[in-house]
Amino acid sequence: MHIDAQAVKALREKTGAGMMDCKKALQEAGGDEEKAVNNLREKGLSAAARRAGKSANQGIVDSYIHLGGKIGVLVEVNCETDFVARNDEFRTFVRNICLQVAATNPAFLKKEDVPEKVLDNERQIIKAQALNEGKPEKVIEKIVEGRIEKYYRENCLMEQAYVRNEDITINELLTELIAKIGENIIIRRYSRFEVGEGLDTSTSCSYEQ
């Protein structure tokens, strides 16, 4: 299969892998870039995979306040060195993660953080919906798994489409930055606060003189 040189270049910029490795990965993936990225990661050839075991105990905590103080976000992103923590591109990335969390309110950081109890409940709901829709029993399992993947994309930060470029996920955005900077970078944690969140709005407290 002929692989366009631009596709090879784009994959190299995204993963940091060698040109020949990128070309081979694209050929094996039939030209599908996402599959090629996965192939490189599985083989440990992408920059992200090579840096994954490196200690990342530097970094920054950034904040973002939106809508006149109605929404606030704190995000911690780690890297290997203080030099990178002061890098403008790294800091822009952290700020963009703050914006992402403010806009999408993800319930979890990554797939692995979703409790099995939550997934079991989602599967039961999805199965019931599929049966109510009259879907054949033999395809329900496939429907359930497909909708669970959708659940991940909606509720897990790393699986979400990046709000500034919905063609890539946050995980892919992170991989591109690792390839460019050459250090292990980890989105460690975040908190999102919204005024009135969790309060019982059905009751109110009043003061009478």
Q: Give me the half-sphere count of Cα atoms (radius 13 Å) on the Cβ side of residue 150.
A: 9
Mean pLDDT of 31-36: 88
Which residue, 184, 192, 158, is CA-closest to 173? Answer: 158
Q: For the chain, how many structural domains are there in total?
A: 3
Same domain, 169 and 103: yes
Phi, psi at 200, each rounded to 5°: -80, 105
Please check the confidence at residue 204 and state whether its pLDDT lies above 60.
no
Q: Stretch 65-87: mean pLDDT, rounded? A: 94
Top-confidence residue, 14 or 36: 36
Burial of 92 (0-12, 13-18, 19+ CB in 10 A): exposed
Indicate whether 188 belongs to any domain.
yes
Q: Are residues 46 and 36 in the same domain?
A: yes
Same-domain pairing of 133 and 189: no
Tens digits of per-residue pLDDT, 92-108?
Answer: 999 999 999 999 999 99
In a domain, 204, yes or no: no
Do 106 and 119 fall into the same domain?
A: no
Q: What is the CATH number of the domain that holds 187?
A: 3.30.479.20
Same domain, 84 and 166: yes
203 assigned to some structural domain? no
Domain identity same for 38 and 125: no
pLDDT of residue 122 exceeding 80, the answer is yes
CATH code at position 145 = 1.10.286.20
78 and 11 within one domain? no
Where is pLDDT greater, at 71 or 8?
71
Cα 113 from Cα 158, distance rounded (Å): 11
Residue 208 lies in a domain: no
What is the per-residue pLDDT for 206?
Answer: 42
Under the banding of pLDDT at 50, 70 and 90, the label for residue 24 is confident
Sign of the torsion formed by the C-alpha atoms of 164, 169, 174 and 177 = negative
Same domain, 76 and 170: yes
Inside any domain, residue 140: yes
Q: Is residue 124 part of a domain?
A: yes
Those residues with Cβ within 8 angstroms of residue 159's Cβ, 6 or more apart along the chain or in another chain: 110, 111, 152, 153, 169, 170, 171
- Identify whether 160 is part of a domain: yes
Q: Which domain holds residue 19?
A: 5-51
**CATH number for 13:** 1.10.8.10
Please give the share of the chain, as a percent, with pLDDT higher than 70.
90
**pLDDT band (50, 70, 90) for residue 89:** very high
Look at residue 187 and tell me if it is in a domain.
Answer: yes
> Does residue 142 share a domain with residue 67?
no
Instruction: Indicate if 73 and 175 belong to the same structural domain.
Output: yes
Q: Are residues 92 and 76 in the same domain?
A: yes
- Which residue, 22, 19, 23, 17, is CA-closest to 2? 23
Same-domain status, 72 and 103: yes
Q: What is the pLDDT of residue 208?
A: 43
Q: Distance between CA 205 and CA 142 in Å, rounded? A: 50
Strand blocks (E) in the chain: 58-66, 71-79, 161-162, 165-169, 186-194
